[in-house]
A and B are shown apart, each in its own frame.
Chain A
Amino acid sequence: MKKSSILMIIGALLLLGLFKFPLWNITLGAPQYPDPLGMNIYINGIEGAEEHDIQNIDGVNHYIGMKKIPKPEEMWEFTVFPQVIGGMVILGVLIGLLGFFGKVSYKWFLGWFTLMLVLGVLGMYDFNAWLTEYGTDLDPKAILKLTDAEGNPLSYKPPLLGTAHILNFTAHSYPRLGGYSLGLGMLFTFIAYFVGRKEAKKLKG
């Protein structure tokens, strides 16, 4: 159980990357923005990729009546997410340690992984819901009111993952180092489960 427990501990600790590095990034490029605008999404708030990007994205968005990019205190997520991630790190390390000393079985690793996966999916669902609201809840006094061919108001929702065209901008939405560190950490804990199972079999055999 030693190898798998160490993997479990490392996996859980990799989540700490989310406190330092952005989880996600949305970049907006347009002909008149040779240096694209960008926002880095952290678990505790949103920052510009460059110093004044948030102000400049808000400036561009006001033409189509979009709300300003929320400050940390304006969204409960930015308070709760760090607590959830912190809690999961502690829990994961604890499970790993207990496994290392043979107090719990490898199945706990899968348990942690499953819980994290559920939380992650919920988080993505919440993120997508915010993007939808951000992109569609528009000021009725917006300067530019654009509609599609059927006469419905255009949605300016950036993609959850991938690239999309929004008016003159091309939006790219992808995970960043924090997000990769989360994924890698979860992968480690998942592997820890299989390694743990193998170790358990060996012990029995």
Chain B
Amino acid sequence: MIKTSKFLVILVTGLLILSCGNGNNSKKSGAIASGVAERVYVPPGEHDEYYAFMSGGYSGNLTVYGLPSGRMLKEIPVFSQFPTNGYGYSTETVPMLETSFGFVPWDDSHHPDISQTNGETDGRWIFINANNTPRIARISLETFETEEIIEIPHSAGNHSSSFITENTEYVVAGTRFSVPYPQKDMPIDEMKGTFKGPLTFIAIDENGRMEIDFQLVMPGFNYDLSHPGRGDSHGWFFFTTYNTEEAHTLQEVNASQNDKDFIAAVNWKKIQEYVKNGGGTEIPANYAHNVYDHNTHMATTTWNKKVLTVDPTKVEGAVYFMPTPKSPHGCDVDPSGEYIVGNGKLSTDLTIHSFSKMLQAIENKDFTGEAYGIPILNFDTTLAGTVKQAGLGPLHTEFDDRGNAYTTFFISSEVVKWKLGTWEVIDRKPSYYSVGHLMIPGGNSRKPDAKYLVSLNKITKDRYLPTGPELEHSAQLYDISGEKMELLLDFPTHGEPHYAAGIIADKVKSKSKKIYELAKNNHPYAVKNEAETKVVREGNEVHVYMSTVRSHFSPDNIEGIKIGDKVYFHVTNLEQDFDVPHGFAVIGANTSEILIMPGQTKTIIWEPTKVGVWPFYCTDFCSALHQEMQGYVRVSPKGSSVPLKWSLD
């Protein structure tokens, strides 16, 4: 086995050296010399043309960028605690990170996808998956805040997720690491044939609320990535698989032995119908559903105890396997819905299946076998074409609206443009370095808005000023409006963006909220004006109903707090002006600060451990008197008789 991996290392290194020739040529194109700088320059005060949403990878969050400038606009906390604004620390948002494993303060976020109507991005919500502790989140594009997180039961490695059907009927969440279904104590080496790879279909209602409709219990392969059909293929979903070997050890080698793995084609409309008519079996489950309410400014967790499972062999004509070479990663569907691209990541070729040929093969029952009762279609009859020798290690393909496809090649570190139908390579550009995924705004919809392409590179090395061994990742912006692609810009990205989604800014920006209406604030501890501020003791819990307005807290002096108390600072920002947040921090707090938007209420808990007079202050530079925005809490010994009192004079 050791010999095999050494051989692989040599092979890959060899391939990298081979591809270096490409790399050096285009480094000559100086930005200034060619006038490229002007094309990414967005003058002060002007807005970018596109929003780009990039997953944070191991940051667990979602970052927002403007294109073409590459300016980072925001980091939206999703699956990770975020001390910057108190997400996951404030009592209102702690329930967002609740799971059946308890409070999980971190995750690995991967594949953002924007909601669609009629196959076009509509800018209502963006969904993203947590890979480690399987969850799907929905983020509002009015508030740019996480509004909902649903846990996916019986899954592990929630990777082929969170892709959306063309009318946002479903968001899917696939299982990358096959697991016992449901979980049980068993020997690992009995995995083969026992483990399963459930694919979860989450129904989305008109308000964006998620509910698991059914779990399709697939054989125990690894379901890597997925995409919905569109146009004629709407109603189908396609998933790439690897480790169809069902190996459980040294998978780097043992899961790479089959010449072909599968793309699973799932007719979800058929299963939806089956389920509607009472099909499927309910099994016990336990998973959290966390919903944030913008009126109470609070999240609540509800526990679901059942999930509906569907055995794919019980639904006639619902699931087929299409053999696809070499452990395919990306599974991408072109804007017309006819072509399904398998990016065989250990290959030099791209395999493209035809949807209409697939239907024909199904009709003709042109099967070459079956896997766990699921028919395997004849590779030759579903094949639309192959892009030959396109590069090394294809990962992901997106599309423009002119009949072209763009594929990233990880090993040869390049982006390759090729033509749908003729399968010929039109252009290739090196990426610096080792590109993972790529994004064209709307490139995963019926209507790509294909002016720019962003490549998300895995290795940064020398692209920026060095910052020690640990570097941010790097993205590159290409102009793809012409026949040849042009590299315009490098920009660093936060976390490890695995995937991105882009949308023309006009679809989103006018709907972006400026403030929360104080009048609509239904938080149980909110105050609507300073006269309502107070301090209430309930046993050893003390609730401070506090307000902020430029530039003071009310109350700003509190006495009568004792060691052993649990002090809740419920802070309402009375401001109703755009971009006037206030912050709150108190000395020795074992949590974080909270950053409160106008009209919002947030709560942080403080358990004082030392007697004294302790300051608190505003952490956001809110005004000319920000520095004066401060106050004191007097903490007396346990059992002291100092009365509770508070003031603002």
Contacts and interface: CB of A to CB of B under 8 A. Distances in A.
Interface of A: 35, 51-52, 55-56, 59, 63, 143-144
Contact of A59 (B515, B549, B578, B624): B549
Contact of A55 (B576, B624, B625): B576
B624 A56 contact: no
A143 B625 CA distance: 9
B625 A59 contact: no
A59 to B, nearest CB: 6
Contacts, number: 18
Contacts of A144: 624
B292 to A, nearest CB: 24
A56 B625 contact: no
Contacts of A35: 578
Interface string B572-610: 000111100000000000000000000000000000000
A52 B515 contact: yes
Interface of B: 515, 549-550, 575-578, 623-625
A35 B576 CA distance: 14
Interface SS of B by simple majority: loop
A56 B579 CA distance: 12
Contact of A63 (B549, B575, B578, B624): B624
Given A59-B549, A59-B550, A52 B577 contact: yes
Contacts of A59: 549-550, 575, 577
B624 A52 contact: no
B157 to A, nearest CB: 46
Contacts of B577: 52, 55-56, 59
Nearest to B550: A59
B576 A52 contact: yes
Nearest to B624: A63
Given A63-B624, A144-B624, 10 more contacts: A51-B576, A52-B515, A55-B576, A55-B577, A56-B576, A56-B577, A59-B550, A59-B575, A63-B625, A143-B625
Contacts of B576: 51-52, 55-56
A52 B515 CA distance: 10
A39 B625 CA distance: 25
A60 B117 CA distance: 43
A35 B577 CA distance: 11
A65 to B, nearest CB: 13
Contacts of A56: 576-577
A35 B515 CA distance: 14
Nearest to B623: A63
Nearest to A59: B550
A52 B578 CA distance: 10
Contacts of A55: 576-577
A184 to B, nearest CB: 35
A63 B625 CA distance: 9
